[in-house]
């Protein structure tokens, strides 16, 4: 090498080679790089690290990074697309180089002075976030935040896969639940089921002395009393759609039975053991939590984009920044005591009454006002700054009986921000 191109890494090893290197998959291996003014050197660049290429203007940094590494990375990535797709893509010229091994698909962002919105990031400029949100929406799993249970959107195929894992070789009953509406008698419902060709139901054996879920029994519809009383039949029963063994040749039959059961069961299907009628699974379409019944929105790409109102952080709305009161500006010098003016925003004439309020409440709480603010206990500082827990939210927690804190003071002021002098005052404490 005749020019001073330097490849720097946060930690060794980087290797600018003078002799052949032993085979290694931990490096991008460049051999005989001759792109533009580069003069035929070999270079190994470690994978999985931040690499910085520095050097004087004209030494070949761009020739190495953009015209060699990126050109080859992009070229090989584009080769994975069909010929049809490739014709729509801009292709870079292949680099002048003897060989390149272990190259990765690459993304290049050039140094430009394009106008960026405040939400633009490396991810948005490279369109990487566009891929990520589509990918995430496909691999996302839903968990009920209350119970921590996984919430799944089931269909007959996913249920079959789970059943094949848990009940392989055993017989199960596929059923759907029917609850009796207030205005309908069981007699009519049973007649209707019979008319549709159903012959068997699972119902609660008896209601007395049963703890938890009562055991079920299987009954033929035509052997049941013509008009069962509430004592004979509870609020719900399970209609047997099919009974079959969980084995590969029964898959199609199961899928059909589960599909029908879900149709009549309003998106839900119940499975039971064929011998004991013990529950063997309860599945539903849609993201319904089995524990709490809460329904969740399906994962869509928009949920994973901070540029979408759906996916944006509700506090900063995706900007990553918020403007709010900075209490360090309200109490800039914590070596002062409250008496000596630690709470700066209350030292002027206008809001001095708040300092008087604080002195009253501090006395009640036995918070010393003559010692440096910094020396107060954390809970005492919190009391001064945040006010009483729940102030202004719970009924009755209002001034003058309760302490509003610096937080409550600013919240009050923000409600008066239509006044010019209030806005000017607030701006001094915002960050
Ligand atoms: Zn945020």
CATH code for the domain in which residue 247 is found = 3.30.190.20
| Closest C-alpha to 99, from 21, 9, 14, 3 | 21
68-73 mean pLDDT: 92
Per-residue pLDDT at 11: 40
> Is 371 within a domain?
yes
Do 277 and 351 fall into the same domain?
no
Given the structure tokens 């008896």, which residue do they identify?
Answer: 206
Q: How far is the CA of 145 from the centre of ligand 1 (A)?
A: 19
Q: Distance, CA 307 to ligand 1 centroid (Å)?
A: 12
**Cα of 319 to ligand 1 centre, how many Å?**
7
Greater model confidence, 146 or 125: 146
Query: Ligand 1 center to residue 152 CA distance, Å?
Result: 28
**Structural contact between residues 271 and 281, judged by C-beta atoms closer than 8 angstroms:** yes
Confidence class of residue 24 from pLDDT cuts 50, 70 and 90? low
**Given a cut of 70, is residue 1 above it in pLDDT?**
no
- Evaluate whether residue 303 is within a structural domain: no
Q: What is the pLDDT of residue 206?
A: 59
Is residue 308 situated within a structural domain? no
Residue 173: strand pairing partners: 243, 272
- Domain assignment present for 139: no
Residue 400 belongs to some domain of the structure: yes
Ligand 1 centroid to 387 CA: how many Å?
Answer: 25
Q: How far is the CA of 312 from the centre of ligand 1 (A)?
A: 7
Residue 299 lies in a domain: no
For the chain, give the mean pLDDT. Answer: 84
Centre of ligand 1 to C-alpha 314, Å, is 7
Is the omega angle on the peptide bond into residue 13 within 30 degrees of 0, that is, cis? Answer: yes
Q: How many domains does the chain have?
A: 3
pLDDT, position 298: 86
How much is the average pLDDT of 21-42?
A: 82
Question: pTM, whole model, 2 decimals?
Answer: 0.49
323 alpha carbon – ligand 1 mean position (Å): 11
Are residues 252 and 162 part of one domain? yes
115-124, 248-257, 383-392 — which is least confidently predicted? Answer: 115-124
Query: In the predicted model, is pLDDT for residue 120 greater than 80?
Result: no
Strand, helix or coil for residue 117: coil
Q: Which residue would you say has higher pLDDT here, 407 or 107?
A: 407
Q: Is 146 in a helix, a strand, or coil? A: coil
Q: Is residue 333 part of a domain?
A: yes
Q: Residue 335's pLDDT is what?
A: 93
Q: 157-178 pLDDT, tens per residue?
A: 999 999 999 888 899 999 999 9
Range of the domain at 401: 327-427
CATH number at residue 79: 3.40.50.300
Same domain, 273 and 339: no
Condensed to tens digits (0 to 9), the pLDDT of residues 328-343 reads 899 999 999 999 999 9
311 Cα: distance to centroid of ligand 1 (angstroms): 11
């Amino acid at each position: 090498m005749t020019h001073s191109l330097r490849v720097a890494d946060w930690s060794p090893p980087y290797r600018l080679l003078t002799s052949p290197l032993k085979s290694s998959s931990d490096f991008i291996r460049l051999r005989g790089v001759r792109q533009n003014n580069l003069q035929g050197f070999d270079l190994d660049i470690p994978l999985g690290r931040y690499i910085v290429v520095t050097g004087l203007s004209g030494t070949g940094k761009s020739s190495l990074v953009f015209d060699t590494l990126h050109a080859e990375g992009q070229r090989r990535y584009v080769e994975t697309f069909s010929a049809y797709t490739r014709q729509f893509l801009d292709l870079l010229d292949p680099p002048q180089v003897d060989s390149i091994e272990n190259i990765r698909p690459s993304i290049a962002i050039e140094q430009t002075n394009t106008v960026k919105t405040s939400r633009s990031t490396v991810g948005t400029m490279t369109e990487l976030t566009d891929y990520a949100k589509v990918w995430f929406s496909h691999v996302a799993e839903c968990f009920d935040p209350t119970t921590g249970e996984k919430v799944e959107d089931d269909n007959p195929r996913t249920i079959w896969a789970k059943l094949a894992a848990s009940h392989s070789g055993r017989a199960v009953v596929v059923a759907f639940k029917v609850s009796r509406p207030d205005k309908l008698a069981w007699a009519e419902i049973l007649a209707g089921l019979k008319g549709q060709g159903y012959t068997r139901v699972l119902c609660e054996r008896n209601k007395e002395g049963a703890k938890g879920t009562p055991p079920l029994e299987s009954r033929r519809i035509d052997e049941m009393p013509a008009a069962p009383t509430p004592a004979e039949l509870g609020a719900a029963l399970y209609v047997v759609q099919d009974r079959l063994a969980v084995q590969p040749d029964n898959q199609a039959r199961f899928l059909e039975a589960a599909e029908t059961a879900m149709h009549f069961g309003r998106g839900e299907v119940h499975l039971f053991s064929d011998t004991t009628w013990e529950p063997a699974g309860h599945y539903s379409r849609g993201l319904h939590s089995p524990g709490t019944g809460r329904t969740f929105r399906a994962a869509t790409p928009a949920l994973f984009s901070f540029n979408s109102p759906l996916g944006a952080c509700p506090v900063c709305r995706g900007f990553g920044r918020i403007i709010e009161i900075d209490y360090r500006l309200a109490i800039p010098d914590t070596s002062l005591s409250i008496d000596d003016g630690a709470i700066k925003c209350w030292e002027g004439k206008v809001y001095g009454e708040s300092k008087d309020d604080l002195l009253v409440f501090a006395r009640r709480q036995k918070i010393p006002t003559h010692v440096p603010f910094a020396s107060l206990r954390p809970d005492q500082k919190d009391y001064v700054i945040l006010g009483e827990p729940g102030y202004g939210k719970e009924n009755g927690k209002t001034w003058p009986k309760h302490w509003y804190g610096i937080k409550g003071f600013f919240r009050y002021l923000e409600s008066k921000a239509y006044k010019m002098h209030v806005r000017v005052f607030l701006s001094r404490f915002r960050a």
